[in-house]
């Protein structure tokens, strides 16, 4: 059997981050408003189940309409993949041009806040413990990446950890940052504007704008602007 040569590496033009987002049709907005007025939150969630698992333009439209009716706010052009699950969707706010990949999990909280900005791309199989979470505009979220806004305090030590209280801390991913595949962002972390988080990284402390970090725990690799030179490694900017 002839094995073809590997094609050369190439660069292709970005799609999601460059495309415009037209307003949703009037009939979609009107139907969403009517559903919100007529049905309870629980009824809307039940209705959504009819359209959650089929990959057709009609089902995609119905997911968008029902999410608009159910969420606290949803902008135009929302695209929801297959099998996306959630809790407390009424605590979520979505900007325009947001994509949520298939099989992602959005775990909200009855007293929480989750704001997802314009033109955010969320890859398949992502997980959000979204008790206090903000993804600003043009954030890219790699497949399988996780945001954890809470953790057990593990005190007192002599009881099962799962029985101890939860500490909830905000996560902020600032505009234009990119979170690599299977990375994990831990409670209380802010990822700066335009920063890159490497695939599989575990981010335990704040990340400087326009920096690149990777590893477990994540550590500074370099600036995206190479002219900036090396970061000064101090106790303050070392991961915990």
Model confidence pLDDT, tens digit, residues 145-157: 999 999 999 999 9
pLDDT at 18: 85
Encode pLDDT of 122-175 as tens digits.
999 999 999 999 999 999 999 999 999 999 999 999 999 999 999 999 999 999
Answer yes or no: are the C-beta atoms of 69 and 87 closer than 8 Å.
no
**pLDDT (mean) for 10-22:** 85
Residues contacting 47, CB < 8 A, separation 6+: 35, 39, 66
- Taking domain 76-225, whether its CATH number is 2.160.10.10 is answered by yes
pLDDT at 239: 39
pLDDT band at 10 (very low <50, low <70, confident <90, very high): confident
pLDDT band at 3 (very low <50, low <70, confident <90, very high): confident
- For 85-150, give the secondary structure using H, E and C: EEECHHHEEECCCCEECCCCEEECCCCCEEEECCCCEECCCCEEECCEEEECCCCEECCCCEEECE
pLDDT at 238: 44
Q: pLDDT exceeding 70 applies to what percent of the chain?
A: 94
User: Higher model confidence: residue 236 or residue 111?
Assistant: 111
Q: List the one residue out of 108, 184, 104 whose CA is nearest residue 146.
A: 184
pLDDT at 240: 36
pLDDT band at 234 (very low <50, low <70, confident <90, very high): very low
pLDDT band at 226 (very low <50, low <70, confident <90, very high): confident
Encode pLDDT of 50-87 as tens digits.
999 999 999 999 999 999 999 999 999 999 999 999 99
User: Higher model confidence: residue 95 or residue 9?
Assistant: 95
| 19 alpha-carbon distance from chain centroid | 19
Number of residues in the chain: 240
pLDDT at 229: 59
pLDDT at 230: 54
**pLDDT (mean) for 197-219:** 97
pLDDT at 19 over 90: no
| Chain mean pLDDT for the chain | 92
User: Higher model confidence: residue 146 or residue 12?
Assistant: 146
């Amino acid at each position: 059997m002839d094995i073809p040569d590997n094609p050369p590496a190439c660069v292709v033009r970005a799609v999601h981050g460059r495309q415009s987002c037209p307003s949703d049709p009037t009939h979609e907005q009107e139907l969403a408003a009517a559903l919100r007025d007529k049905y309870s939150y629980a009824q809307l969630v039940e209705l959504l189940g009819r359209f959650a698992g089929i990959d057709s333009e009609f089902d995609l439209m119905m997911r968008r309409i029902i999410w608009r009716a159910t969420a606290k706010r949803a902008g135009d052009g929302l695209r929801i993949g297959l099998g996306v699950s959630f809790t407390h969707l009424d605590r979520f706010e979505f900007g325009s041009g947001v994509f949520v990949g298939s099989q992602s999990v959005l775990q909200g909280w009855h007293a929480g806040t989750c704001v997802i900005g314009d033109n955010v791309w969320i890859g398949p199989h992502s997980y959000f413990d979204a008790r206090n979470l903000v993804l600003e505009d043009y954030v890219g979220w790699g497949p399988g990446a996780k945001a954890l806004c809470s953790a057990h305090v593990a005190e007192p030590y002599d009881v099962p950890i799962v029985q101890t209280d939860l500490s909830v801390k905000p996560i902020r991913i600032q505009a234009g940052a990119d979170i690599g595949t299977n990375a994990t962002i831990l409670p209380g972390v802010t990822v700066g504007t335009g920063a890159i988080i490497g695939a599989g990284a575990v981010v335990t402390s704040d990340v400087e704008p326009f920096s690149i970090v990777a590893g477990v725990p994540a550590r500074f690799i370099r600036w995206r602007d190479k002219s900036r030179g090396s970061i000064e490694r101090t106790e303050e900017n070392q991961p915990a």
